[in-house]
């Protein structure tokens, strides 16, 4: 059985290695809000438990077992977020912090009952895919709003950044999951993009458009 802390470490590693497959000590420590020295200690422990591949001064990656365990935590996190949002009526910028705690509740049966109660959701309130009971994710969004050309229309699939400030900002612009977005123009001078959502136009930064995943208008 993994401790609360160990679970947080492998979940952070999962996040870091989803794109780049390997991670570094400082990066991991930053992600978790601890000092690199602390992360080094934990890395030794996780290697001992065969959850990661790692050697001194080298790069870190999850073993198959580690990845599976991390996916289970991610599954719980996203199922609980969905519960909080769909059943209890929390806003989408409130669910993450509470799910950070709920994801550590130990009970296989609870996860499966919760999944059923929510009618086997495929996505969480932020548009992120929920791993299945085997710890697999099929859908991956790759296209961001910044990649859409002027004049085109797309649909918001998910948000990359889950921070409350960003989520509130997104909502303020009139955006939500599945909402249609038209790219009106891009300013070469200050790199802002003018988008139209439900008839309302807004100018947003590259940082903003980089953090919105989109799919084609009718996908």
Partner DNA sequence: TAACAAAGTTAGATTAATCTAACAAATTTT
Partner DNA sequence: AAAATTTGTTAGATTAATCTAACTTTGTTA
Q: How far is the CB of 41 from DNA (least distance, A)?
A: 4
Q: How far is the C-alpha of 46 from the C-alpha of 62, rounded, in Å?
A: 9
Provide the β-strand partners of residue 8: none
Burial class (CB in 10 A: 0-12, 13-18, 19+), 142: exposed
53 binds DNA (CB under 7 A): no
Q: How far is the CB of 4 from DNA (least distance, A)?
A: 7
* Residue 43 near which of a copy of itself, Mn ion, DNA, none (CB within 5-8 Å, type-dependent): DNA
* Residue 180 near which of Mn ion, a copy of itself, DNA, none (CB within 5-8 Å, type-dependent): none
Distances (CA, A) of 46 to 37, 51, 66, 144, 199: 15, 5, 9, 34, 51
Q: What Rg do the C-alpha atoms of the chain give, in angstroms?
A: 19
The footprint of DNA (CB under 7 A) covers 3-6, 24-27, 33-45, 56-59
The footprint of a copy of itself (CB under 8 A) covers 84, 87-90, 94, 97-98, 101-102, 105-107, 109-110, 113-114, 117
The footprint of Mn ion (CB under 5 A) covers 8, 81, 100, 124, 126, 128
């Amino acid at each position: 059985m993994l401790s609360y802390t160990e679970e947080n470490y492998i979940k952070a590693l999962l996040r870091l290695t989803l794109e780049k497959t390997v991670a570094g000590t400082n990066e991991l420590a930053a992600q978790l809000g601890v000092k690199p020295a602390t992360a080094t200690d934990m890395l030794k422990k996780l290697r001992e438990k065969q959850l990661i591949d790692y050697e001194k001064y080298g790069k870190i990656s999850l073993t198959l077992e580690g990845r599976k365990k991390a996916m289970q935590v991610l599954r719980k996190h996203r199922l609980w977020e969905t519960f909080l949002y769909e059943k209890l009526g929390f806003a989408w910028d409130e669910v993450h912090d509470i799910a950070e705690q709920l994801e550590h509740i130990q009970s296989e049966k609870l996860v499966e009952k919760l999944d059923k109660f929510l009618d086997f959701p495929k996505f969480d309130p932020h548009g992120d895919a929920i791993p299945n009971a085997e710890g697999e994710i099929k859908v991956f969004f790759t296209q961001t709003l910044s990649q859409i050309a002027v004049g085109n229309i797309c649909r918001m699939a998910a948000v990359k950044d889950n921070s409350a400030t960003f989520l509130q900002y997104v909502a303020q612009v009139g955006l939500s999951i599945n909402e249609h977005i038209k790219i009106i123009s891009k300013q070469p001078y200050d790199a802002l993009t003018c988008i139209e959502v439900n008839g309302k136009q807004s100018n947003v930064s590259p940082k903003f458009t980089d953090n919105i995943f989109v799919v084609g208008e009718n996908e």
